[in-house]
Amino acid sequence: MLAPAAQPQDTSFLRWIMDAGYADGDGDAFGFKGPSFPDPFGSLLPPPPQQLLLPSQQHDHLQPPQALVDDLLDAARRLDAGDSTTARGILARLNHRLPSLPPPGHPPLLRAAALLRDALLRLLPPTTLPQPASVSSPLDVPLKLAAHKALADASPTVQFASFTSTQAFLDALGAARCVHLVDFDVGFGGHWPPLMQELAHQWRHAAVPLPPPTLKVTALVSPGSRHPLELHLTYESLTRFAAELGIPFEFTALVFDPVSSSPPIGLSAAPDEAVAVHLPAGSGTFLPAPAHLRVVKELSPAVVVCVDHGCERGDLPLPHHALNLLRSCAALLESMDAAGASPDVVSKIEQFILRPRVERLALGGDKLPPPLQSMFASAGFAPLQLSNAAEAQAECLLRRTANHGFHVAKRQAALALWWQRSELVSVSAWRC
């Protein structure tokens, strides 16, 4: 493993943001636009449904959102206590009073409550509703891609997570020439182009001529969690972007079952490779577990970067976990409304990002792992302080954000983006 090397300020990712102008809110910074991620699918997404309120719904529409939220949390308490009969009655009443897809203009708290209500309905025994599918259909893949692009444009959370993570990787990798990135939640790979861009920049502006750096991305995918088309799009997009930068690139997807005691077949690190790991939490698409950290330790990585979306609190009883989910989703929706995101954009994000996230995290319940910090500490990992450059670029990003309700704060060794009094996302770095 290569030791991290001190980086001069000129090579910080802050310079890349300022030079490229990507802090202006342009989704190009993530490969979600332009030649790397063409968008042939925009016309496939249906317009947000326009739902008419029934007379009974019109009455409840005038009630304070808190009344509906209180009922929702009461249903969660009943479920947690094993009283499914009463919980079913409460949720049935909420089903009539709260549309599944509240039309634009409804308060964010009510829209988040509708998502949680639908998830809690799936917890009723016997389960009569189909469980959310982990594998998308081919049609779902372009819709998911459109939703992720919409989120990158509508909220600074994506840019904050990407920029802060990239700086943490750069600080730990130093002058490494062979970089191996292990990704537990690769998605469409939109978080890797900034790092690829910076590695190419360092190579082209080196004081002495050097061969281009080599970059390998290994995506660890749990069985049945990704449609092959999604992985194919990720492979094609990242490969094409690397070719445009002129750097050798390799992408591999390996099946990893965290329930199995066996490590992923084919996962290894060459002696000359500097390994870095991307391990998210609270996204709903990936649930970190001790088995993941055991695999990570065997790789002796230079750094493990964790992006925490703040929704995953399986250590709490169901009512408190539900309240945490509700607050997180409502805060994100409120921040997008305040930023002036269009109803169509918010509808995409609700349907294809927030709804699956809430369903999977709510249904995970007692299967969710302990808090991430506790899990890292138990596995022998220590937090790394994020550099001043990481904090400076986050502040730079917010200065270029039109809405002033966002702010950045340090939380122990993590750097977090807040909306008003709610944490939206945090980034931390760890080393074993």
Residue-wise pLDDT for 100-110, tens only, equals 777 667 889 98
How many helices and strands, by DSSP H and E, does the chain display?
A: 15, 9
- What residues make up the domain containing 275? 1-432
pTM more than 0.85: no
Exposed, middle or buried: residue 347 (CB in 10 Å: 0-12, 13-18, 19+)? Answer: buried
Over residues 17-66, the pLDDT tens digits come to 334 443 343 444 334 433 333 333 333 333 443 333 333 343 444 356 78
Per-residue pLDDT at 131: 52
Q: In this structure, are strands 382-384 and 422-431 parallel, antiparallel, or unpaired?
A: antiparallel
| Residue 46: Cβ-neighbour burial (10 angstroms; 0-12, 13-18, 19+) | exposed
Say which DSSP state 289 is in: -
Average pLDDT over residues 114-134: 75
Highest mean pLDDT among 161-175, 334-348, 357-371: 161-175
Could you list the beta-strand ranges (E) of 222-377: 249-255, 274-278, 303-308
Residue 18: give its domain's CATH number.
3.40.50.150
How many domains does the structure of the chain reveal? 1
pLDDT at 25: 38
Q: What is the pLDDT of residue 275?
A: 97
Integer Cα distance of 401 and 395 in angstroms: 10
